[in-house]
Structure 1
Amino acid sequence: MTSARDIMTPDVTCVGVSETVLEAARKMADLGVGSLPICGNDQRLKGMLTDRDIVVKVLAEGRDPATVTAGELAQGEAVTIGADDTASEILQTMADHQVRRLPVIDGHTLVGIVAVADIARALPDRPVGDLIDAISA
């Protein structure tokens, strides 16, 4: 059975909790991504930061992205998937939480990200179409 480890994108870049949103935005631009995991000083996942978070929670509120930290935008526990969880568990978790990207953890260590695009490349069309319907509702 296909696991998260089989389809994830490894070598994920984190933004640190004390890094500014401006620094995070530059990382996103350099990497060509729309989200980054937020990692603490202990290298544990603290949340996810999206380009939408930056626009809605910082810019639209007139806050200074050079002073707001990524850690300030981390909200509760991030939705994750285990490295050995199956593709069906990934699909179910994404659908239940209406997310397009899931950090993949092995124990407490972030080892990758599974995005809808990763699933589309790895699985037949039908489950992917059902997922898109579920997260777009």
Structure 2
Amino acid sequence: MTTVRQLMTSPVHCVRESDSVLEAARLMAAQGVGAVPVCGEDGRIKGMLTDRDIVVRVLAEGKDPRALHASEVVQGETVTIGPDADAEEAVRAMSEHAVRRLPVVDGGALAGIVAQADVARALSNPASGDLVEAISRER
């Protein structure tokens, strides 16, 4: 059985709720990623901020990314998974919630990120194809 711990990227850099959206975008650019976790001052994950969130909820609406906090842009429930869950459980969570990235939380603390690509590499081709299809469906 392949576990999430074996698939996840770690360590993960997060932005604080009080960091500006511009700071978050700069971190994404520096790390070469399309999403960053938003963490509270207590270090616990509060949400995920994506490059798409920045474009659609900030830039397209004419808002100033220097003036908005990261916490003002993240929306909805944050779906997480534990590091000892198996890859199939990650697939179910990603498919059910239509997310491409799952923050990995261990004892309440952010331990890593498992991405759609990480899971797809670990699964058989039919299973990974099903995952991509489920996540990519319009909702």
**TM-score, L = length of structure 2:** 0.95
Deviations 1:64-120 (A, max 9, x none): 100101011232431111111111110000000111110011120110001011112
Matches within 5 A, 1:34-45: 34-45=34-45
Alignment pair present for 1:54 and 2:54: yes
Aligned to 1:111: 111
- Equivalent residues of 2:4, 2:90 under 8 A apart: yes
> 1:122: how far off?
1.8
Distance in 1 (CA, whole Å) between partners of 2:95 and 2:74 is 21
| Identical-residue share of aligned pairs (%) | 60
- Equivalent residues of 1:20, 1:69 under 8 A apart: yes
- Return the letter of the residue paired with 1:126: P
Aligned to 1:87: 87
Distance in 2 (CA, whole Å) between partners of 1:114 and 1:11 is 11
Over the aligned positions, Cα root-mean-square deviation in angstroms equals 1.0
Aligned to 1:3: 3
- Equivalent residues of 1:100, 1:135 under 8 A apart: yes
Aligned to 2:135: 135
SS in 2 for 1:10: coil
Distance in 2 (CA, whole Å) between partners of 1:99 and 1:89 is 13
Distance in 1 (CA, whole Å) between partners of 2:43 and 2:7 is 23
> 1:3: how far off?
1.0
SS in 2 for 1:83: coil
**TM-score, L = length of structure 1:** 0.96
- Equivalent residues of 1:11, 1:112 under 8 A apart: yes
Distance in 1 (CA, whole Å) between partners of 2:57 and 2:123 is 35
Distance in 1 (CA, whole Å) between partners of 2:82 and 2:61 is 35
> 1:8: how far off?
0.6
Gaps of 5+ in 1: none
Distance in 1 (CA, whole Å) between partners of 2:97 and 2:113 is 16
> 1:121: how far off?
2.1
Q: What count of residue pairs does the alignment treat as equivalent?
A: 137
Aligned to 2:20: 20
- Equivalent residues of 1:46, 1:76 under 8 A apart: no
